[in-house]
Amino acid sequence: MTTPRDLFVVTLDVASSHPAPGDLSLALAGAELIDLLRLEAAVLDGERIVPATPRDVPDPMLAQAAASLRPQVPHETVEDWLWRRGRGLSVAYRDAFEAEGLLTLRRRRWLPAWIGQTALVDSPTRTRAGHRWAAEDPVLAALATAAGVSDRPAADLRDVTDESVVTILAAVDDAVTELVGVRHRKSIEDAAFSNVWRGA
């Protein structure tokens, strides 16, 4: 089981509403990087990601993430990784879950078959993520909070002793805050544009 998979399960199984895809994608990219560090596929040199030879990367999505690490010097920063790797990542995880049969379309009565809500099926993947969430894992909780799962207070990062993990969590939080700001500015601009046309 991996942290990004646990995070994806939590956003579908626990959150009262689905997070914005961009916020979730950034959090998933951060979760991948945390796991790559734990698998010794990378190390952080300050805020730069230095690829290493991993012990083993059994998960296909994590293997893809490891293969995309950039070996060029100067190495990529955590922030740059989040924006590059995070692009469309929530959709990629959804596709992976669907391919594995871990998602199903819950039909609504009286509506056509193609209209419904995606839901998790009962599986060991779902159970393990649920146990980790119930155990109040601080890393998972911090990533979920950044992604927009607000059903629980923010994690206490004092419980996270790995400085590299703290660096990644802080970068995820900053990136999501920046993305939220961009969306807010765009909504204001769109509203102003609509008002101009209505007043024309």
The 3-state secondary structure of 100-168 reads CCCEEEEECCCCCCCCEEEEECCCHHHHHHHHHHHCCCHHHHHHHHHHCCCCCCCCCHHHCCCHHHHHH
Residue 187 scores a pLDDT above 60: no
How many CB atoms are located within 10 Å of the residue 43 CB?
14
Q: What is the mean pLDDT of residues 103-112?
A: 62
The residue that leads in pLDDT, 170 or 196, is 170
Q: What is the mean pLDDT of residues 181-198?
A: 58
CA distance 46 to 157: 19
CA distance 89 to 23: 10
CB 78 within 8 A of CB 166: no
Q: What is the mean pLDDT of residues 37-44?
A: 94
In single-letter form, the type of residue at position 127 comes to T
**Band (154; pLDDT cuts 50, 70, 90):** low
Question: Residue ranges per domain, the chain?
Answer: 3-199
CA distance 130 to 182: 32
pLDDT (tens digit per residue) in 89-105: 999 999 999 999 998 86
Closest CA to 43 of 31, 52, 35, 32: 52
Residue 184 scores a pLDDT above 70: no
Q: b or e along 10-28 (b: 16 or more beta carbons within 10 Å of the residue's beta carbon)?
A: bbbeebeeebbebbbbbbb
**Band (57; pLDDT cuts 50, 70, 90):** confident
pTM of the model: 0.85
**Band (24; pLDDT cuts 50, 70, 90):** very high
DSSP code of residue 176: H
Q: What is the mean pLDDT of residues 23-36?
A: 96
Residue 158 scores a pLDDT above 90: no
Element spanning 40, H or E: none
Dihedral, CA of residue 88, residue 92, residue 97 and residue 101, to nearest 10 = 120
CB 79 within 8 A of CB 90: no
Element spanning 51, H or E: strand 48-51
Write down the pLDDT at residue 182. 78
Write down the pLDDT at residue 113. 46
Write down the pLDDT at residue 62. 95
Write down the pLDDT at residue 114. 44
Residue 116 scores a pLDDT above 60: no
Least confident of 18-22, 159-163, 192-196: 192-196
DSSP code of residue 63: H
Taking each helix axis from N to C end, the angle separating 60-67 and 3-13, rounded to the nearest 10 degrees, works out to 120
